[in-house]
Amino acid sequence: MCIRTNSAFTRAMLPALCATLLAASNTGAQQPTSPAADGRPPELAASPLAPNPPALLAKPAAAIPLDKIELPPGFHIEQWAGGLANAREIALGSKGTVFVGTRLVGKVYAIVDKGDHREVTTIATGLHRPNGVAFKDGALYVAEIERVLRIDDIENRLDNPPAPVVVYSDLPKDEPHGWKFIAFGPDGWLYVPVGAPCNICDPPASHAQIRRIRPDGSKAEVYARGVRNTVGFDWDPRTHDLWFTDNGRDWLGDDIPSDELNHATAAGQNFGYPFCHEGNIPDPQFGNLGSCANAVPPTVKLGAHVAALGMRFYTGGMFPSEYRNRMIVAEHGSWNRTKRSGYRLVWVDTSQSPPTTGVFAQGWLQGQSYWGRPVDVQVMPDGSLLVSDDEAGALYRITYTK
């Protein structure tokens, strides 16, 4: 059943909403096709390992045990906003509005800080995996699997968003690794990844890459290749170089390959997928497609199967000075590993050679059970750090006091 609405945005999206509802009624839930079966060796055919079931409902605040989160001395965490089912990428508007995309429930949220509380508005529904959100010149850009939309003047129209404009639609429609993290670079272009349509395969030339497009969609080019699945990137504020996380393939064991933190120093570089993993491990099936010597190795190996997703350079003034220009990386947490890994935030200091790393926040994983899964981080104007959690359906705020 489709609903009636007075919102121009939702009216424009009703065909997609109806299709989404129909698909959900036929499948039981909006879930992407899992690439887990690809590349599974015969001896692991009966393995019980499987992707973690997605949480499609937000948890009440009382069911979110933030007292279990461990932080360095002086840091504090609180729930900043709740009721954000499947909260994923975060973007910040010029007037302070926080926008949050989702991967599985088809919504985009807007959160306005009212001082003593946060006001949450759902500004879009019925979208196709709107994981990616980015803000520029008063407009919110939203990435679905197959296209990028723009919602103009959004911060002045939160209660009645205008109809979206299709900016770019030349994107593959594959579900596996099809959801996107997007962000505007220092060059003013919008960076849009296209993941590999599989766990491990020889992907088409249209996949396993990071593209960049002009804000009006008038031009597109491939910036990086050999990228299996990046769901987080940012630019060094000192050099303007692109850094991005990349998730390693499954079914090579508990401890290989590592998820990667990669550093792109120029357009056109190849980061090795599918023939090379973590810089020095040829793929047993596709290693003949290239040489590790011809691929850019990761700057940091983050650990096998940690599912490193959103990351940002910390540019605020609230945290101690040693955090300035460090990266904070959200590790969503493993499934293709007999002992779970990830489910935490880590910091990376690239001013050292080699870079140094450490745990910034942990406790979402208790033993082998998890109650939350961090997805993205966002530095706020006051220097605090927001963290999205798609398992709990919440945003947390991390602050520091001496």
pLDDT at res. 25:
36
pTM of the model: 0.91
Please check the confidence at residue 337 and state whether its pLDDT lies above 90.
yes
Please check the confidence at residue 279 and state whether its pLDDT lies above 70.
yes
Please check the confidence at residue 27 and state whether its pLDDT lies above 80.
no
Please check the confidence at residue 145 and state whether its pLDDT lies above 80.
yes
pLDDT at res. 194:
98
Tokens, residue 39: 């590349």
Q: pLDDT tens digits for 341-395?
A: 999 999 999 998 999 999 999 999 999 999 999 999 999 999 999 999 999 999 9
d(CA 342, CA 333): 4
Please check the confidence at residue 15 and state whether its pLDDT lies above 70.
no
Domains of the chain, earliest start first: 68-400 (2.120.10.30)
pLDDT at res. 308:
98
Please check the confidence at residue 30 and state whether its pLDDT lies above 90.
no
CB-based contact 380:92 (threshold 8 Å): yes
Question: Residues of the chain with pLDDT > 70: what percent?
Answer: 91
* DSSP letter string, 16-54: HHHHHHHHHHHHSS--PPP-TTTT--GGGTT----PPPP
Confidence of residue 34 (pLDDT cuts 50, 70, 90): very low
- The identity of residue 253, as a single letter, is G
Please check the confidence at residue 58 and state whether its pLDDT lies above 60.
yes
Compute the average pLDDT of residues 293-303: 98
pLDDT at res. 208:
98
Please check the confidence at residue 223 and state whether its pLDDT lies above 90.
yes
Q: CA dihedral in degrees (126, 128, 132, 133; nearest 10)?
A: -30
Compute the average pLDDT of residues 227-237: 98
pLDDT at res. 352:
87
Please check the confidence at residue 126 and state whether its pLDDT lies above 80.
yes
Say how many C-beta atoms besides its own lie within 10 A of residue 370's C-beta. Answer: 18
d(CA 98, CA 358): 28
Tokens, residue 116: 């003593």
Question: Residues of the chain with pLDDT > 90: what percent?
Answer: 88
d(CA 279, CA 296): 7
Q: What is the mean pLDDT of the chain?
A: 92
pLDDT at res. 285:
95
CB-based contact 275:282 (threshold 8 Å): yes
pLDDT at res. 7:
46
pLDDT at res. 212:
98
pLDDT at res. 8:
46
pLDDT at res. 183:
98
Taken as a whole, the chain contains a residue count of 402
pLDDT at res. 38:
77
Lowest mean pLDDT among 21-35, 56-70, 201-215: 21-35
- 235 alpha carbon, distance to own chain's centre: 15
Please check the confidence at residue 234 and state whether its pLDDT lies above 50.
yes
Confidence of residue 120 (pLDDT cuts 50, 70, 90): very high
CB-based contact 126:13 (threshold 8 Å): yes
Please check the confidence at residue 218 and state whether its pLDDT lies above 50.
yes
Please check the confidence at residue 204 and state whether its pLDDT lies above 70.
yes
